[in-house]
Amino acid sequence: FFFQYLRRCVRAFGAVNAMKSRFGIVFASLTILHSVNAGTIRREYLAKVVEAKDKCLKEFNVDDSVVEDFLKKNIKPESKSGQCMVACFLEERGMMADGKILSEGVKLNNEEQYKDPADVEKGNKVTDMCDTEVPNEGKDKCLLAADYAMCVVKRSEEAGLPKIDFAHPTD
């Protein structure tokens, strides 16, 4: 990984100039350290997420584009089947049971998801915010799941947490 990334940095800044100048070396080193230590999502986590997502997409006959719109464009599923797919996903991942969001399950998910402890902490703060913003009472479980997940997606983005990219796993 290190050498592949270094090669990309060198190509991007010119082999001779980047490697001869102290700035180039320092910049390449900082970029590499940032990418290695930056908040990334664990590959094992992503595999479990994809499995749960695929199961729920199939169960509720929802197109994958609904998930992509949700995660990348912050578009909440409007259809009942789309919302119930989100509830299914949260249940599969231990974040929802009996029509209620399980905050501790969401926080355990954060620990499993993020490599960087700072990202886990940010994720837990997002969980606390969404627990307040989207109360468990008074909503159908599917709508609750969609609203809660939408809150998590938006607040995670605001907190600078890495997004799940199903096409390009990290680790």
Position with higher pLDDT, 107 vs 166: 107
- Kindly state whether residues 53 and 128 are assigned to the same domain: yes
pLDDT at position 166 is 55
Closest CA to 89 of 64, 45, 46, 56: 56
DSSP annotation of 41 reads B
Task: Kindly state whether residue 167 falls inside one of the protein's structural domains.
Answer: no
Whether residue 13 has pLDDT greater than 70: no
Domain count for the chain, please give it.
2
- Kindly state whether residues 120 and 55 are assigned to the same domain: yes
- Kindly state whether residues 54 and 16 are assigned to the same domain: no
| Angle, helix 43-59 to helix 80-92, in steps of 10 degrees | 140
Give Cα 35 distance to the centre of its chain.
16
pLDDT at position 16 is 43
Cβ atoms of residues 45 and 116 within 8 Å = no
CA distance 18 to 129: 44
Cβ atoms of residues 110 and 123 within 8 Å = yes
Q: What is the pLDDT of residues 116-171, one digit of tens each?
A: 999 999 999 999 999 999 999 888 999 999 999 999 999 999 999 987 765 544 44
Mean per-residue pLDDT, 74-101:
94
Task: Kindly state whether residue 103 falls inside one of the protein's structural domains.
Answer: yes
Whether residue 100 has pLDDT greater than 80: yes
- Kindly state whether residues 30 and 50 are assigned to the same domain: no
Helix (H, G, I), strand (E, B) or coil at 97: strand
Q: Which domain holds residue 79?
A: 43-159
Task: Kindly state whether residue 153 falls inside one of the protein's structural domains.
Answer: yes
Average pLDDT in the chain: 78
Q: What is the pLDDT of residues 32-67, one digit of tens each?
A: 333 333 447 778 888 888 899 899 999 999 988 888
- Kindly state whether residues 11 and 81 are assigned to the same domain: no
CA distance 43 to 45: 5
- Kindly state whether residues 21 and 47 are assigned to the same domain: no
Task: Kindly state whether residue 171 falls inside one of the protein's structural domains.
Answer: no
Written as six digits, the tokens of 156 are: 């995670």
- Kindly state whether residues 87 and 119 are assigned to the same domain: yes
Cβ count near 153 (within 10 Å): 22
- Kindly state whether residues 66 and 111 are assigned to the same domain: yes
119: domain CATH number is 1.10.238.20
